[in-house]
A and B are shown apart, each in its own frame.
Chain A
Amino acid sequence: MTVVDTGLAGEYAAIHAYGTAAVHLSGAPRDLAEALEAEHRDRRDALLDFYDGHGMEAAPAQASYDIDPIGDAEAAQALLLDVEERLATTWRAGVASEEPAEREICLNMLTASAEALARWRIAVGEAAAAPWPGRPA
């Protein structure tokens, strides 16, 4: 399994998480969640194009994902922030690839993850800045 495979699996899971969690949100956080869900769908499509372009077979999304019950908006935001942090860590690992096309798409995804994380942090009242996006704590 390549790092792009892992990242694609993460993007599938993120789309599912947003679809599950966004209904618990309202106002600006809901708008942000819907916008980011759309961005994750775009990223999934870009990844599927990457597989097509390199003559590779992409794994499909799972039929379902195991997500703990979401009780309220705070839990929904925490889940989505966690999803974005995990994705950033996955894509950061891929930037180390020695294969140029793989490094490039992983960098594109890491950059998008960092932007999404910054937007979420602002939405939950945290400082948006982060010097090392995706670096494990």
Chain B
Amino acid sequence: MFTTRRGLLVGAAVLATAGCTDTPVKLIESDADLTALLRGARSLASAAESLGYTDIAADHTAHIETLERLLLPNVVEEEEAAPSIADAAALAEAESEASGVAREACLTTTGDYAVLFGEIAASRAAHAAVIA
């Protein structure tokens, strides 16, 4: 690509101007609602999978993928200790509580994510209804 020293210097200047360098990306502040919903989705996905509710786990995985994409370039680290959800009743209760978190986010957000948060709240409530 840069076959001469002059070409190399010009290329380096262009890349630096365009931000294409090895300088670490400066992360912007995370959206608190997106982060909270992502953490909840990860916990529920893990619990649903371990209890054999694979289709419900797939719903949470879809939520995780969307929330992670919206949070970029931020990356929310996995939490080390997920809350223990040992049986179907506990999972239904956790789904219901997590639905409430998404509901609150939907009703209070002033951003563009009201519908997304509402969908997640409704999906989690439906999980709770059929597991219970």
Residues of A within 8 A of B (CB): 88, 92, 95-96, 100, 103-104, 106-107, 110-111, 113-115, 117-119, 122, 127-135
Counted as pairs of residues, one from A and one from B, with CB atoms less than 8 Å apart, the total is: 83
Chain B interface residues (CB < 8 Å from chain A): 55-56, 58-60, 62-63, 99, 103, 106-107, 114-115, 118-119, 121-123, 125-127, 129-130
CB pair B118 A117 closer than 8 Å:
no
A119 and B130 contacting across the interface, CB-CB below 8 Å: yes
Closest to B62 in A: A131
Question: Which of A92, A115, A128, A134 is close to B125, meaning CB atoms less than 8 Å apart?
Answer: A115
Contact B126–A110 (Cβ < 8 Å) = no
Q: How far is the CA of A95 from the CA of B103 in the complex (A)?
A: 11
What would be 10 A-B contacts, judged by CB atoms less than 8 Å apart?
A92-B115, A103-B114, A107-B106, A111-B99, A118-B126, A118-B127, A118-B130, A129-B58, A132-B119, A133-B126
Contact yes or no, A117 B114, CB < 8 A: no
Evaluate contact between A132 and B62: CB separation under 8 angstroms. Answer: yes
- Asked if A100 and B122 make an inter-chain contact with CB atoms under 8 angstroms apart, the answer reads no
Contact A133 B127, CB 8 Å, known A103-B107, A107-B107: no
Are B126 and A128 neighbours in the complex by a CB distance under 8 Å? yes
Q: Do residues A111 and B125 form an inter-chain contact, with CB atoms below 8 A?
A: yes
The 8 closest A-B pairs by CB, nearest first: A114-B122, A131-B62, A95-B118, A129-B55, A118-B126, A114-B126, A131-B59, A115-B129
Question: Could you tell me the distance between the alpha carbons of A127 and B55 in the complex, rounded to whole angstroms?
Answer: 7
Q: How far is the CB of A75 from chain B (nearest CB, A)?
A: 24
**CA–CA, A129 and B61, complex, Å:** 12
Q: Which residues of B contact A113 (CB under 8 A)?
A: 122
In the bound complex, residues from chain B placing their C-beta under 8 Å from that of A100 are 107
Taking a contact as CB atoms under 8 Å apart, the answer to whether B107 and A114 are in contact is no
In the complex, the answer to whether A114 meets B115 with C-beta atoms within 8 Å is: no
User: What residues of A have a CB within 8 angstroms of the CB of B99 in the complex?
Assistant: 111
Q: How many Å lie between the Cα of A95 and that of B55 in the bound state?
A: 25
Please, how many angstroms separate the alpha-carbon atoms of A131 and B115 in the complex?
Answer: 13
Option from A107, A130, A135 in Cβ contact (under 8 Å) with B121:
A107
**Contact between A131 and B63, CB atoms less than 8 A apart:** yes
Shortest A43–chain B CB gap in Å is 14
Residues of A contacting B106 in the complex (Cβ-Cβ under 8 angstroms)? 95, 103, 107
Which of A92, A100, A130, A131 has the most chain B CB atoms inside 10 A of its CB?
A131
Task: List, in ascending order, chain A residues with CB within 8 A of B114's CB.
Answer: 95-96, 103
Q: Which of B99, B121, B122, B130 has the most CB of A within 10 A?
A: B122
